[in-house]
Amino acid sequence: MSAIGPARGDGIGIEITHDLVRGVRLSSDEPGRVIAAAEVPVMSPFGDRAMVDAFVRLRAELGDALVPTRVAVFPPGSVLTRVDATGLSANDLNAVRSDLASSRHASSSILVDDGPRRWLIGVAWDDTDIRRLEELTERAGFVDVAIDPSPLALVRVLDTTITHLRRDAAADQSIAAIVSGGSVVAAAAIDSVGRMAPALSCSDVAVSVGWFDDVDEPAELVVEIRRLLDDAPPVDSPLWLAGHMYPGFPPHDVRAPERQCVAIGAAIGAAGLAGRLRPVDMLMPVVTTSSELERPWAIERLSDLPTPRSPATIGRTKRMLARILPRRR
């Protein structure tokens, strides 16, 4: 790290699961860019102290570096879809965001540039829990923390010919996605019954990009994605890191592609190697309590005194006479 701050190519990517957190640190000075990788178990994913402890241990393994960090997460029950936002103004984008929140329960959104096209990615998940994980990551000492949906982070390290992917991150935590030209069309968190984790499987079978345009219900979206995955034969797909093929480490190695694929994608985004990335916008609900409604200064009468009268003033004629006639002593 230079004296003026981190250089382009320096970044940390973290993948969060129920069982453990994975992390990768990239450096612009390293030929292979990956200088550290680690996995840390999580004792209790619902306890703040346990999560902070896991993040602190992960930071110690990666090195105490003040570089940007992206946290990839896609908990069970999450779904992701996209709509075309090319050429829309700010007001039109807000209208589309509101429509996604009401029709598809996608209260989070992110803009993604795809050449001349622009997509608005709507994500339906627990926004409160996502904000909690972001705050806990910052509390552990990571800087410039941003949230990254795991499907978006994963496609950054895959070839653009990949159209189907399934990521088995941990027990009972898997991700399935349909991709077109390196852009996620739809994704959902699915069950992992009978699957070994961690694992990554891909396919390059052609798919219609407009298949999910009229799918609004999350349950229907999951069914359609699973059906398309079942009909897609798997193919071998290496990982790509800034134009270079990622080494094929053995599965037991902590740097193995099937272990760190999502964390590497998040690190690429944090290091500025994936073009312009925008933050996730969340339409957080306004929580109103009874104490906030008790505002006596807004409804209570402040005074019972009558309105004071305006002071009497002399007229125009008396003012002119006062100037002409001499004053009495």
Collect the ranges in the chain with pLDDT lower than 50.
1-3, 286-290, 292-293, 297
DSSP string, 292-314: HH--HHHHS----SPPPPPPP--
Provide the pLDDT for residue 286: 44
In a domain, 297, yes or no: no
Provide the pLDDT for residue 37: 94
In a domain, 72, yes or no: yes
- Which of these, 72, 75, 58, lies nearest to 134 by C-alpha position? 72
- Which of these, 8, 37, 6, lies nearest to 269 by C-alpha position? 8
In a domain, 119, yes or no: yes
Position of tokens 């005194």?
305
Provide the pLDDT for residue 140: 94
In a domain, 2, yes or no: no
Provide the pLDDT for residue 105: 87
Looking at the structure of the chain, the number of domains it has is 1
In a domain, 315, yes or no: no
What is the domain extent for residue 106?
11-282
In a domain, 304, yes or no: no
In a domain, 18, yes or no: yes
Q: What is the CA radius of gyration of the chain?
A: 28
Is the N-terminal amide bond of 45 cis, ω within 30° of 0?
no
Q: What is the pTM of this model?
A: 0.82
Provide the pLDDT for residue 204: 93
In a domain, 325, yes or no: no
What would the two tokens of residue 152 be? 């978006």
Provide the pLDDT for residue 300: 57
